[in-house]
Amino acid sequence: MNRTERRIGLVQMRCTSDQEQNLQSAIEGIREAAAQGAQIVCLPELFRSLYFCQSEDHRMFDLAEEIPGPSTKAISQVAKELDVAVVASLFERRTAGLYHNTTVVIDADGSLAGMYRKMHIPDDPLFYEKFYFTPGDLGFKTIPCKYGKLGVLICWDQWYPEAARLTALSGAEILLYPTAIGWHPSEKAEFGKAQHESWELIQRSHAVANGVFVVSVNRTGHEGDAEGGIEFWGQSFAVAPDGQILYRASETETEVQVVSLNLQQMDVTRTHWPFLRDRRIDAYGGITKRFLDGESI
């Protein structure tokens, strides 16, 4: 393996109501990415089902599984067979009445390298995640695997610079965001362009501010009521430490794309833009408060 090159496979999926079909589609995506030379493969958020958080329905808890469980077993087998690491987002049943939105990193030998539980839980129209998920308790961290130091976050986490910063400070070379985000069809014409550009812009800013690569993998397709629901906007992408887009998928198509990242670019970017050097860590105490109410720091 080239010491500084990492090849990341982005698997943009269209999910269905058939959990087994979704799992097989994900495995096919992993295989296709590996055939293209991927070392690390990232799947979308909650890829095993339709995005069930569009409503508050107790029956949906039946979709959850334990970790380790059926999905991690199946993915571990293919990861070991293909010698790739896989980032996979799952609906975790921790115990009766306790559920998380969790991403696992399966290493290239099939072992569970680590897991991250989503910290920021949204509660917006058609994104009723607080009904289902307990906020994560594993913190922001880096998960080492055969092919690098991975910082794994999930969807709504991508709007928070604190999450990206703390994960980068823990040693991550690549921030990966399994994602399920899209438009309310009734809003798309008026707000769609701004919503998508804001989503992409905030993640590009994480790359610049922290001098790391960022990879965001979304689903695509319409899910839910024909007159409403969510139109997932696809457009999975990878960003260099200088904020430049290395790859962007289409809005509507399922895609498997491998992107080459040169980790040496991190060092070049961080020495030319030494944001980590110039941080005033002695002056940031206020960041741990909810709001300052005019108080000076």
Q: Do residues 115 and 180 lie in contact, with contact meaning Cβ atoms separated by under 8 Å? A: no
pLDDT reported for residue 1:
56
42, 53, 92, 118: the active-site residue = 118
Q: Is 297 a domain residue?
A: no
Question: What is the token pair recorded at 169?
Answer: 């400070």
Q: How would DSSP label each residue in 61-83?
A: GGG-B-SSSHHHHHHHHHHHHHT
Nearest residue to 127 (alpha-carbon basis) of 70, 79, 182: 182
Phi first, then psi, for residue 73 (nearest 5°) are -65, -45
pLDDT reported for residue 3:
83
Q: For this structure, is 145 an active site residue? A: no
pLDDT reported for residue 208:
98
**DSSP 3-state assignment of 194?**
helix
Question: What is the token pair recorded at 43?
Answer: 């799947």
Q: Is 24 a domain residue?
A: yes
pLDDT reported for residue 256:
98
92, 145, 155, 200: the active-site residue = 155
Q: Is 146 a domain residue?
A: yes
Q: For this structure, is 118 an active site residue? A: yes
Which residues lie closer than 8 Å to 163 by C-beta, 6 or more apart?
A: 119, 120, 140, 153, 157
Q: Is 296 a domain residue?
A: no
Give per-residue burial for 126-161: e unless 16+ CB within 10 Å, then b. Answer: bbbbebbbbebeeebbbbebbbbebbbbbbbbbebe
45, 129, 223, 231: the active-site residue = 45
Q: Is 293 a domain residue?
A: no
Distance (Å, rounded) from C-alpha 245 to C-alpha 243? 6
Per-residue pLDDT of the chain (297 residues; tens, 9 = 90+): 578 999 999 999 999 999 999 999 999 999 999 999 999 999 999 999 999 999 999 999 999 999 999 999 999 999 999 999 999 999 999 999 999 999 999 999 999 999 999 999 999 999 999 999 999 999 999 999 999 999 999 999 999 999 999 999 999 999 999 999 999 999 999 999 999 999 999 999 999 999 999 999 999 999 998 889 999 999 999 999 999 999 999 999 999 999 999 999 999 999 999 999 999 999 999 999 999 987 777
Distance (Å, rounded) from C-alpha 130 to C-alpha 128? 6
Q: The domain containing residue 64 runs over which residues? A: 5-288
The kind and range of the H/E element at 29 are helix 19-35
Distance (Å, rounded) from C-alpha 195 to C-alpha 192? 5
Q: Could you tell me the CATH number of the domain that includes residue 223?
A: 3.60.110.10
- ∠ CA(152), CA(150), CA(115), 5° rounding? 50
Q: Beta strands 174-178 and 213-217: pairing type?
A: parallel
Question: What is the token pair recorded at 212?
Answer: 């790391």
pLDDT reported for residue 293:
84
**DSSP 3-state assignment of 70?**
helix
The kind and range of the H/E element at 5 are strand 5-12
Q: How would DSSP label each residue in 111-144?
A: -EEEEEE-----EETTEEGGGT-PPP-S-S-EEE
Nearest residue to 18 (alpha-carbon basis) of 59, 41, 49: 49
Number of domains the chain contains: 1
Q: Is 295 a domain residue?
A: no
Q: For this structure, is 45 an active site residue? A: yes
Q: Is 236 a domain residue?
A: yes
Q: Do residues 154 and 133 lie in contact, with contact meaning Cβ atoms separated by under 8 Å? A: no
CA-atom Rg of the chain in angstroms: 19
Q: Is 29 a domain residue?
A: yes
Q: Beta strands 142-145 and 5-12: pairing type?
A: unpaired
**DSSP 3-state assignment of 30?**
helix
